[in-house]
Amino acid sequence: MRRFTQILILLALAILLVPVFLPKKLTAEIEKELEFPTGIIFEEFNNLKEYSEWDPWTSADSLITQEFFAPYRGQGAGYKWSSVQSKGDLTIQRSETNKSIHYNLNGLKIGENAIMKVEFISETPSKTKIKWLIESDNIGYFSRYFSYFTSKNLNEKMQRGLEVLESNLTNSALTPEQAESLLPGDVKREMFEGMKLITVMNETSLDEDEIQTATAETFGLLFSYLTDYLKIAPSKIGKPISFYEFKDIAAGKARFYCGYPITESVQLGEGMELKALPSEETLVCIHKGSYEKIPFTIDLMKQYAHEHKIKLSNSYWEEYQNDPESIENEDDFLTKIYIPIQK
């Protein structure tokens, strides 16, 4: 009996003393490399609507309710969730583009005023290392037992979350913000948000010199009309776009519209018309090089579509990312190509 009492005393002392050696805070931290540019990964954490599509605590719960707070992305963005299994809220406190994001986190059974921090390290132009940290506020003395097991569970869930993210990025369309980080030659899916253009229609042969001459003349006419006649500041005029309705190889003809994006109603000049590009999912690629070589990039996109069983529309458009007059070498011309995906 005496020996039994001694054992109980030792166990009680162990229970009392062990928390001294356990962390005062619950900490979970993981690292992972993903084969995507930093800007694409950053937006998955910076846009909380995108984050909620793959985060390891709410995305797999079909019964969860979510509420988002404007502006949805960047500093001040936030959302809260609630379900039978979990509830909490997340707010972005500080966001440094493509570098780090700091959050305030409540929930996940780790108490209030926890912090979450994500760092983005660009290993190469197409590879990013993620450092993801969750740390609770100071926890109670005896709660430190709980923290030991919870920390391990958080690590496992964070790893699973990044695996889902990697799968989503491989198979899902990019947001417009993510697409800004595309590298030349990368072919991806993007949700195009729609756009209205003021345009002039051209019909030419398939000769690239004739097409480029018509394009340059049309953009010059439109830009002069917008700035000189309508008195629109050049800084308020968007990037020029050429929308190709068709290129008929049999007939040797092309029909395309050259124009500029507009956000308000404008008076149309002679031969001008409005053209609406609808909101739809597209296949996109950045072409780097002379405009005459754009057909090679389009062939690359069509090959990608064939390999991934994607059906493309016959029409497409080109958005010119830099001004050819300010670029000395045509090998540095950048053109973003959009081809609508048919459902």
Domains of the chain: residue spans and CATH: 22-172 (3.30.530.20), 187-340 (3.20.80.10)
Task: State the pLDDT confidence band at 195, using cuts at 50, 70 and 90.
Answer: very high
- Give the model's confidence band at 289: pLDDT under 50 very low, under 70 low, under 90 confident, else very high: very high
Model confidence at 96, in pLDDT bands (50, 70, 90)? very high
Give, in order, the Cα–Cα distances in Å from 324 to each of 77, 88, 289, 319, 321.
Answer: 38, 51, 11, 13, 9
The rounded distance, in Å, linking the Cα atoms of 287 and 339 is 13
pLDDT digits (tens, 9 = 90+) for 113-162: 788 999 999 999 889 999 999 988 755 544 545 555 566 788 888 999 99
**pLDDT surpasses 50 at 269:** yes
Q: For 159-192, what is each residue's pLDDT tens digit?
A: 999 999 998 888 778 888 888 888 899 999 999 9
Burial of 316 from C-beta contacts in 10 A (0-12 / 13-18 / 19+): buried
pLDDT band of residue 276 (cuts 50, 70, 90) is very high
Residue 41 to residue 240: CA distance in whole angstroms: 28
What's the start-to-end Cα distance of the chain, in Å? 78
Structure token digits, residue 208: 């690239």
Q: Determine what percent of the chain is predicted with pLDDT higher than 90.
A: 56
Quick check: 107 pLDDT over 60? yes
- Secondary structure (3-state) at 307: helix
Number of H helices, E strands in the chain: 7, 15
Q: Could you give the count of Cα atoms lying within 13 Å of 148 in the half-sphere of its Cβ?
A: 11
Residue of 28 and 277 predicted with greater confidence: 277
Sign of the Cα torsion 205, 211, 213, 215 reads positive
Largest CA distance in the chain: 106
What pLDDT, on the 0 to 100 scale, is given for residue 98?
A: 93
Taken in order 55, 57, 60, 61, the sign of the CA dihedral is negative
pLDDT band at 20 (very low <50, low <70, confident <90, very high): very low
- The reported pLDDT for the residue numbered 57 is 80
Give me the pLDDT at residue 178, please.
Answer: 83
Mean pLDDT (the chain) is: 86
Pick the more confident residue, 321 or 139.
321
Query: Residue 7's pLDDT band (boundaries 50, 70, 90)?
Result: low
Quickly list DSSP for 318-334: EEE-S-GGG-S-GGG-E
Is residue 247 over pLDDT 80?
Answer: yes
Q: Count Cβ neighbours within 10 Å for each residue of 231-256 and write b for 16 or more, e otherwise.
A: ebeeeebeebbbbbbebeeeeeebeb
pLDDT of residue 23: 54
pLDDT in the model for residue 21? 47
Give pLDDT, residue 147.
Answer: 57
Mean pLDDT (whole number) for 273-277: 95
The DSSP annotation for 43-59 comes to HHHHBHHHHTTT-TTTT
pLDDT for residue 233: 87
Structure confidence by residue, pLDDT tens digits, 47-95: 999 998 898 887 777 778 889 988 889 999 999 988 877 788 999 999 9
DSSP-derived 3-state class of residue 14: helix
pLDDT band at 309; cut points 50, 70, 90: very high
Lowest mean pLDDT segment, chosen from 1-5, 94-98, 119-123, 259-263: 1-5
Any idea which of 73-87, 257-271, 312-326 has the lowest mean pLDDT? 73-87
φ and ψ of 138, to 5 deg: -55, 135
